[in-house]
Amino acid sequence: MGIGQVLARLKPEFPDLSPSKLRFLEEQRLVFPARTESGYRKFSPRDIDRLRLILTMQRDHYLPLKIIRTQLAELDAGREPTMPTTTASGPSMLNGERRYIREELLRESGAGSWLLDEAVSASLIPAGETFGEDALGVLRALVELGEVGIEPRHLRGFRASAEREVALLETAILPITKRRDSSSRARGAEIALELAAQLDVVRGSLIRSALERIGG
């Protein structure tokens, strides 16, 4: 099943589930959908069951991803994990994206305060009092890039490049989104996400080819 079919299957149980949430869970290596030759994600029935388990652990037990990953590793090893008990009464991670205050973001990413300030200045992370999962992922990447001397100021052009790609995608889905009904807008958003995945494939291929030339 594609992302749209997965959402149709799981949204009745998890109304706040979104394509970005599915991609995030994949990026965190909690679920491993197959890819077609053209790069489209394809989820098997086993993937759906795994997603349902992950989302249930988040919603009903408020478990952080680190604990969920441990639970899944136990299942993958053929063992029956013991579900941790919790008295936490915080909101589920599915009730909107989890938000981090500045101190939490720095602690979770292992970044210094200066790195976050430079990332915001370079428009790699939006300024604000709280930050989402995307900001955490970017900051973690910047920590690793910094180890080889790549700093946020070197990546200022990434923002402009991303905006050009978004403009390209908006043009591509315009025949759908101009219908203005909610189903068309939802379909347009889904297609845009799939097209963005194809752009990732092209970008990755270009980078690998360039690296091969350097190495060769």
DSSP state of 100: E
Give the mean pLDDT of the chain: 82
Kindly state the helix (H) or strand (E) to which residue 131 belongs, with its residue range: strand 130-131
Radius of gyration of the chain (CA): 19
Residues with Cβ < 8 Å from 156, sequence gap 6 or more?
Answer: 122, 123
**CB-based burial label for 135 (10 Å; 0-12, 13-18, 19+):** buried
C-alpha 163, offset from chain centre: 18
Contact 2, 41 (CB under 8 A): yes
90: pLDDT strictly greater than 50: no
Residues with Cβ < 8 Å from 13, sequence gap 6 or more?
Answer: 52, 55
Contact 30, 19 (CB under 8 A): no
What pTM does this model have? 0.51
181: pLDDT strictly greater than 80: no
- In order, the DSSP letters of 110-126 are T--HHHHHHHHHTTSS-
95: pLDDT strictly greater than 60: no
Q: How far is CA 42 from CA 11, 13, 94, 206, in A?
A: 17, 20, 22, 24
Q: Hey, which residues does 41 pair with through a beta bridge?
A: 35
The whole-number pLDDT of residue 216 equals 63
**pLDDT tier at 83, thresholds 50, 70, 90:** low
Tens digit of pLDDT for each residue in 34-59? 988 878 889 999 999 999 999 888 88
Tens digit of pLDDT for each residue in 200-215? 878 888 888 888 887 7
Kindly state the helix (H) or strand (E) to which residue 29 belongs, with its residue range: none
Q: How many CB atoms lie within 10 A of CB 73?
A: 11
Percent of the chain scoring above 90 in pLDDT? 23
Tokens 């889905």, located at residue = 173
16: pLDDT strictly greater than 90: no
